[in-house]
Every structure is written in C-alpha cells, then in structure tokens.
Amino acid sequence: MVIPEKNDLERDSVAAAWSAAGGEVSRLGRFWEPPSYDPAKVRVYGNDTFALVLAQKLGLDLISPADDLLVQLPQQALQRSVTLLPLSVAMTSPFPAFLKPAAPKLFKAAIYTSLTDLAVETRGLEPDTPVLHSEIVQFACEIRCFVWRGDVLDAAIYEGDGALEDGLRFARQLARSGDLPTTCVLDIGYIPQRGWAIIEANAAWGAGLNGCRADKVLPCIEAATRQVAIGS
C-alpha cells in the first residue's frame, strides 16, 4: 500500500491494519516522482491529488462512483430533489440552494445563499461544469458505510444521533441494488419525517474512516486500485 508521507491518524490506522494483515506499506513524499512498483500488486490510499497522480504515473485504475450517481438513483434512495445542472444554469436557479460539484473538490459543497457567494467560490470554472443542485434538508444522523461486493463491511455514526441498525438496513438494501460500483464508501443520513437517504458516495481509495474500523474495511480499499488493463 502506498500512502502519503505526512502522518494522519486515520490513514496511519489503515496502514497499521494493512501491515498486520501481512502487507507492505510505502510512504511517499515526492509522489509525482514515484519509485518503481509492480502495478499488479500496488494499492493506493490517500487524498485526491496524491492518488490520481500516482494512478497516472504507475498505470493504475482507481475505482470510483460515477460523478452523476445521485441522479441515477431512485427517489426513495434520495428522499429529496437532486438534479444535475451546468454551472451556468445553477447560477440562475433560486437561492438559497445546496450545491456541490459533480466531480469532487472543484469547489466547496455548501448551502449558497446568493449568486455572489457562488460566483466567488466557482471563479475560473467553465460555465458547463456539472453541478449537483439539491433541495435543502437537515440530516438528524449521518453514517459512513464501507461497501464491498454488495455488502456493508463496517459502518459508524459520525454526526448526530440515531439508530445505527436502522441505517444499516437501508445501506445494505442500497448495496445490494446493483446501482453502486464493486467498492465504495456511502454516507447516508436520516431526514426527519422522510426517512433514510444517501448523502453521497465516495471512492474507497481516498475516504477517511469516520469511526469505522480499519481492519474491517481493508477489502474496500484494496479493491479500489487495479492495474490498467492491457489495450485500454
């Protein structure tokens, strides 16, 4: 497993679990100039820039949920209105609104109260940048779930209060639906008077533990890196 050189409590926990399971851990500082690794054996775990650059340099595929996954899911999985819009259209939509980039990290996911706020945050982005526009709701409880092959390997409440088992039933149903990639990390939440809903789906190669146990979620992280297939 290749991880960033800088210490991080959660990442260090994953590295320790990987070592305890018999794997080797390599910490990289100058990740843009990586040493030679066997792409069939290396696995990546770190922030977006670290992981994406390494994938390009080493000939790796990183398994991630589709950017537009939320709008592909049925309404009962969302429990709120979510639409995919170009940034130019999002700027003409009513405010306040919860907006986030379809591609992670392009701008801050947040409730924007005015066009001015959004314009400042998205300065420099192209007008056709895909944006997820969501109805504003309040989540009373938020749970992180590591999903692998249609099962939830571990889950933990990271915000608010609620019944973990109730959330797990919803997460397992979603994991078995066939709408998710083989490995991913789901954040789900409970909306009062509506029910459990998916908040977002994240890539296992970069998601923090948020209370989940490192040794339980290793299969998710391991499966999120693959060697680029010959001819692709």
Q: Report the greatest alpha carbon distance in the chain.
A: 54
Which structure tokens are listed for 27? Answer: 């910490």
pLDDT at residue number 104: 83
What is the pLDDT at residue 230? 60
Q: Which tokens go with 90?
A: 């999002």
Domain stops at, among 34, 64, 94? 64
- ω into 96 cis (within 30 of 0): yes
Same domain as 162, residue 127 = no
Helix, strand or coil, per DSSP, at residue 37: coil
Q: Which of 29, 32, 30, 26 is nearest to 44 (CA)?
A: 26
**Is 146 within the bounds of a domain?**
yes
pLDDT of 190 reads: 98
CATH number of 198's domain: 3.30.470.20
Question: Can you give the pLDDT at residue 75?
Answer: 94
Q: What is the C-alpha separation between 36 and 74, in angstroms, rounded?
A: 44
CA distances from 15 to 44, 119, 147, 228 (A): 11, 40, 19, 24
* pLDDT recorded at residue 71: 95
Query: What pLDDT, on the 0 to 100 scale, is given for residue 191?
Result: 97
Would you say residue 108 lies in a domain?
yes
In a domain, 174, yes or no: yes
pLDDT computed for residue 231 by the predictor: 52
- Distance between CA atoms of 154 and 144, rounded to whole angstroms? 8
Residue 22, burial from CB neighbour count under 10 angstroms (0-12, 13-18, 19+): exposed
Q: Which domain holds residue 156?
A: 138-202
Residues 45 and 20 in one domain: yes
User: Total domain count for the chain?
Assistant: 3
* CA gap 5, 12 in Å, rounded: 10
As a whole number of angstroms, the distance between CA 221 and CA 209 comes to 11
Predicted pLDDT at 87: 97
Residue 69, SS3? helix
Blockwise average pLDDT, block size 10, the chain, 232 residues:
95 97 95 92 95 94 95 95 96 94 92 96 96 96 97 97 94 94 97 96 97 98 88 50
- 47 located within any domain: yes
